[in-house]
A and B are shown apart, each in its own frame.
Chain A
Amino acid sequence: MNVEAVLAGAVAGGTSILYPTLGEVISERAGVINLGTEGSMLAGALTAYAVGIQTGNPWAGVVAGMVAGSLLSLVHAFMVLTRGANQIAVGLVVTFLGLGLTALFGQDFVGRGVVALREFPIPGLSSLPFVGRVLFSHDVLTYLSLVAAVVLWFMVFRTRTGMKLRAAGERPDVLHTFGMSPTVVRYAAVLCGGALAGLGGAQLSTAFTLNWSEGMTVGRGFVAVGLVIFAAWNPLKAIFGAYLFSGAIALQLQLQAEGSDISRYLLQALPYLAVIVVLAILSRRRANAAPEALSRVFEHST
């Protein structure tokens, strides 16, 4: 087995799952679960792809993708925070909205040549044996995703902003007592989460798959919501979660390439099963790590 190829594939494919996972960590830290992440990813993927083609500049596309992702998450935030609708239901509806809108507006872009985010091997480091290919021969957004994880970890646990964020998810009245509005913090967190999901989608279409097709995220946004539990709502641990999923994809591709006896169709289930198994193992241990306000989402439903 070519371990180097699997690991390099895991890092390359993990970026588009790491961003939405980070976004969902932020959102859930503030107490809002957002299954619309899948929709935001689709919106980001199409918008980045389309704007990249129209402007010829992939970075304009990336920025537009983030905006599109956060606009869709604004729908979620408004419905949940202002209209008081159920988070799980609204999240799925928002994903549906994203699916429909990207189908409606993406039609003309199917099969159009991508303006790709090029790979940017880091000079020197990329020629190192093994780690060079695994870690240092990717697109810029992949390096940035790791930086983002560290920065967000610092933000969440070491800054005042992070304190407010966590307070909104754990003890909203305390924020209230100090004259701040938990609702405003939650809005900001959900929008930030949507932008990161959009960024993940943008990376997926313009740097990884290099094409656009309807529903191309195939559940990555939903997987991200699951991985947040794996990551114990910690941005640094989200890195491992994302690479777990993308590692399973890379492993499956490698097994296919090596002509494994297992059907290639069944191998495709591997990444989803890996996430389910890991969640089953970890969920009980993670129960106390969950932001307090989040458990209430699941408690009252009828």
Chain B
Amino acid sequence: MTATTPMPGDVGADPHGHTPADLPDGATPPDPIIIEEDMPRTWPDRLRSWSRLAAALVGAIGIFSAFLVARGADPIVVFEAMWTSAFGDANKLGETLIRATPLLLAALAVAVPAKAGLFNIGGEGQLVLGAIGAVLVAYSLGEETNGVLTLTLMAVGGAVAGGLWAAIPALLKYFTDTSEAIVSLLLNYVAVIVLAWLVFEPLKDPMSTGQAYSRPLAANQNLPIIWGNRVHLGVVIAVVAAVAVWLALRGTRWGFALKVLGGNPEAARRAGLKVGLLGFSALAIGGALAGLGGMLHVSGLENRLRPDLMVGYGYIGFLAAWLARHDPLKSIGAAVLLGAIAVGGTGLKISAGLSGAAVNVLMALVLLAVLGWSRPAPKALR
């Protein structure tokens, strides 16, 4: 077994070529056991797979350039500006790392349930709830409480809030068979509405005019700055979280049970695993991780709640998880890469006067390259 997990199964891409209709009437189709047979094993295979992916990535950049040209921008200038914005000097690199922090936790929030075969697309909402939970804890503790204790409780508050938010799709999944993908996705919109309500009504800073935001956090409610002017401790905490998730998935019974569940739910059930509880725990822990991400973002950087606090972070985190194929350690790199592209949006805006959201195109194209070309195409579909 390689450390890499197989890509989730795809319709028509069952490695054994089974389809339900291969079976006699009335028989339930066996759950396919996915063996990592599409992962290259030999060096020539690996080389071939890498060059295929490299070609796809070049294609992605080429298509993005074509779009830029269509908008009258010079791709070289844009890429240069994006690179400078993301990695130009120490401060800019710091900016990328700060951006990558909530992305990494949002990616972990996708990766953990994915091991159990569950889709968590609710990272955005869970990040938002985490930020809200952390800020509410901070407000209720006041400024007098010891800093370390305050920050710990804020982290717990964020994680609990994110976990509870993810528990909604988890509970609906197990009690009513409702798709956790759709429910977690729709709850993102609800979370953003709750955030808007809080900052426009109960938590509104009386000093704010025009733009709505909540009261700022006190100095001891901010994560310490560890590098430069803005890079906060959250960057380290996120990496520690990724390593912890990696260890938990690979070294604990729980992690093993999740993989069994993800690989073959029926086998998991027959082996006596508590399938419902396992899936629930995977989603809730995923939500808690995203919640922690929201706390780090608000306590380390934003300092207060505002309506578009976390816009896009959850979805980009989802992309990061898939870029890393749900591997917690690789997620670190994926989060930094997508964080850099996101920060590069500023450069794109300044150099070409284009909407910063245009970098979403580049992210999407990179993801398409990775999703579609990191392994051979399935053999002729039936």
Contact = CB atoms under 8 A, between A and B. Distances in A.
A80 to B, nearest CB: 7
A276 B7 contact: no
A302 B115 CA distance: 5
B7 A284 contact: no
Interface in B292-351: 315, 318-319, 322, 326
A219 B372 CA distance: 25
Contact of A31 (B11, B13, B201, B322): B11
Contact of A104 (B5, B200, B361): B361
- Majority-rule SS of A interface residues: helix
A101 B368 contact: no
A104 B361 CA distance: 8
B372 A96 contact: no
Interface residues of A, number: 69
Most buried by A among B118, B259, B355, B377: B355
A90 B11 CA distance: 13
A263 interface: yes
Contacts of A105: 70-71
Contacts of A298: 117, 119, 179, 181
Contacts of B114: 301-302
A274 B85 CA distance: 43
Given A265-B193, A299-B117, A87 B367 contact: no
B88 interface: no
A99 B359 CA distance: 10
B185 A222 contact: yes
Nearest to B113: A301
A272 to B, nearest CB: 5
Interface residues of B, number: 76
A292 B18 CA distance: 13
Interface string A66-100: 00000000010001111111111110111011011
Contact of B197 (A263, A293, A299): A263
Contacts of B188: 219
A222 B190 CA distance: 13
Contacts of B193: 265-266, 268-269, 272
Nearest to B191: A269
B363 to A, nearest CB: 6
Given A82-B377, A302-B263, A226 B361 contact: no
Interface in B181-196: 181-183, 185-190, 193-194, 196
Interface string B166-183: 000000100011110111
Interface string B25-44: 00000011010000000000
Contacts of A279: 172, 178-179, 182-183
B119 A80 contact: no
A292 B20 contact: yes
B381 A182 contact: yes
B201 A265 contact: yes
A181 B12 CA distance: 12
Contacts of B130: none
A173 B21 contact: yes
B10 A86 contact: yes
Interface in B365-382: 365, 367-368, 371-373, 377-378, 381-382
Given A265-B193, A268-B193, A99 B186 contact: no
Contact of B371 (A86, A176, A229, A275): A86
A296 B372 CA distance: 19
Most buried by A among B10, B14, B372: B10
B200 A100 contact: no
A86 B38 CA distance: 14
A182 B19 CA distance: 13
A31 B21 CA distance: 14
A128 interface: no
A32 B9 CA distance: 13
A225 B326 CA distance: 24
5 contacts: A214-B355, A226-B179, A272-B189, A283-B177, A301-B8
Interface of B: 5-14, 19-22, 31-32, 34, 67, 70-71, 114-115, 117-119, 121, 172, 176-179, 181-183, 185-190, 193-194, 196-197, 200-201, 259, 262-263, 265, 315, 318-319, 322, 326, 354-365, 367-368, 371-373, 377-378, 381-382
Interface of A: 31-32, 35, 75, 79-90, 92-94, 96-97, 99-101, 103-107, 171-174, 176, 181-183, 214, 218-219, 222-223, 225-226, 229, 263, 265-266, 268-269, 272-273, 275-276, 279-281, 283-284, 287, 292-293, 296-302
Nearest 10 A-B pairs (CB), nearest first? Answer: A300-B9, A100-B360, A301-B8, A103-B357, A100-B361, A265-B197, A83-B372, A84-B378, A97-B364, A104-B358
